[in-house]
Chain A
Amino acid sequence: MQFFLPNRGPGRLIVVEGIDGSGKSTQIALLSQWLRLRGYAVAFSEWNSSPLVHETTRRGKKKEMFTPTSFSLIHATDFADRMERYIIPLLKAGAVVCADRYAYTAFARDMVRGVDRAWVRNIYRFALQPDLAFYFKVPLEVALGRILGGRNALKYYEAGMDLGLSRNIEESFRIFQGRILAEYESMIEEMGFHVIDATKSIESQQKEMRRVVLHKFGVMRPPGVLGVELSPARLHA
């Protein structure tokens, strides 16, 4: 389904989505490298990484100043900056842009924070429609097992502590991630996610992603960069 503005290319936009611990970052890194090694200009853009709003986000998180609305808006600002300054120009130049999380992350998280659905969806109307959106489907307990018990301490907003779900940060994280998971699941059909079974081995997930990319781009025959065509034959070379 075309929810966003059409990407008039010639570049291609590939997006990965899923809850924390679903393994999507590992997979998009492997996919980017695979494309890069085949001679394509690959750009990478991560959720919440714009240098323009970095200080504001840091201040808000450190001092726990965010409300659901300001939290939603600062992430949209971050996204807009990456879209306007980075993603759109690179797509116009013919690059393959790989995005670790996209507007869907906001749709899922902001809904859990009680923000109005139509309002948050309208904010992201300026975004471009991804050519491929992979969703890493994973049972909650599997994802939690990958995150909890690790050495990295959970952070306040990451665990949804602002929602007052539990005073225990791990418990809050469980409930919060569970609700986000439900939001993602409800978007699969509507947004046309390509579902990857994230309980499988890293290798078999990557194989599936590459197969989908070849299939999709082979059919669409987008002009590649550097004068080469992104086609199955080229990708297999």
Chain B
Amino acid sequence: MPDYKNRPALSYYGTALPGVDYSELQGKLIVIEGPDAVGRSTQIRGLKPWLEEAGHAVLDTGMARSALAGKGIKEAKQGNTLGSITMTLYYLTDFADRLENEIIPALRAGVVVLTDRYIFSVMARAIARGENRAWIEKVAGFALVPHSVLYLRAKVPDLISRVVVGRGAFDFWESGMDLRFGRNMYDSFVRYQARLIRVFDSLAAPYNFQVIDATKPPVEVFESLKSSVAKIFESDPTTSLADHRKSVRPARGTVPLKTAASRRTP
């Protein structure tokens, strides 16, 4: 099994992209990964303003949001005839478009990129559907090595309660119904998500994931994420969060900082 642990951040895993000068990249790339309904987007909604408050420009992006393929993927998922290799390659097309047209330009400009899922979700879905692991690792090898992959790890029962409470219904694809892992959506969800978690776990060591226990309440998960993210900046003095983490108090005699809302009115 290839070991990507020692690949430096913002280099590539396996194959260089044509026309990219990797030495120009200077922002931070932070990946939030984990199974469906584990709470990734909730956490990102918290992390983004927290980073911005500390003075970082943040780009948040996520799977199937590309200008090129986002719409096509959503349409393809409406019909239930998407084969697993086709789905894998379609998601990687979407990823390539976001990587080259959003993520890399943002990193060049020194922006912090926060991404909801990365190649690992695409890989996990393919492997859970029986596709060859070496194949997908090579195909996805053009991805940039992130500064940190924060893996929100939970167990299937945690996901089920989130689906039932949060969404009220099981999703066809999240239940792996294209391969029918069980007689009904619930059974299929349980088996498919258990498989996905096993695959994510198997990717954790070779890709250097930081495992975050997502069975805890969201507030505690948020604290773990913040301390992991803070470490990325601490190791780099030019972008350190150290000053910002203390609450800023205006010095005596100066005018207090105005809030965003009051600034709008002249």
Contact = CB atoms under 8 A, between A and B. Distances in A.
Contacts of B97: 65, 67, 70
B54 to A, nearest CB: 32
A156 to B, nearest CB: 15
B93 A84 contact: no
Interface in A56-72: 56, 59-60, 65-70
Given A68-B19, A70-B93, A81 B135 contact: no
Contacts of B164: none
B212 interface: no
Given A84-B83, A84-B86, 7 more contacts: A56-B93, A59-B71, A74-B68, A77-B90, A77-B93, A80-B85, A81-B82
B46 interface: no
Interface of B: 14-19, 67-69, 71-72, 75-76, 79, 81-86, 88-90, 92-93, 96-97, 100-101, 132, 135, 138-139, 141-142
Interface residues of A, number: 31
Contact of B89 (A55, A59, A116, A123): A123
Interface in A75-107: 76-77, 80-81, 83-85
Contact of A122 (B19, B72, B135): B135
A118 B137 CA distance: 13
B85 A83 contact: yes
Contacts, number: 98
B100 A70 contact: yes
Given A69-B96, A83-B85, A125 B135 contact: yes
B138 A114 contact: no
Contacts of B96: 67, 69-70, 73
A59 B67 CA distance: 9
A115 interface: yes
B89 to A, nearest CB: 4
Contact of B101 (A65, A73, A126): A65
Contacts of A119: 14-15, 138-139, 141-142
A85 B178 CA distance: 13
Contacts of B82: 52, 81
A235 interface: no
Contact of B68 (A56, A81, A113): A56
Contacts of A113: 18
A88 B103 CA distance: 37
A67 B89 contact: no
Contact of B18 (A65, A69, A84, A118): A69
B140 to A, nearest CB: 10
14 contacts: A53-B72, A55-B72, A66-B68, A67-B19, A67-B97, A67-B101, A69-B17, A69-B100, A70-B93, A114-B18, A119-B142, A122-B139, A123-B89, A126-B85
A74 B93 contact: yes
B20 to A, nearest CB: 9
Contact of B83 (A56, A80, A122): A80
Contacts of B88: 80
Contacts of B142: 69, 119
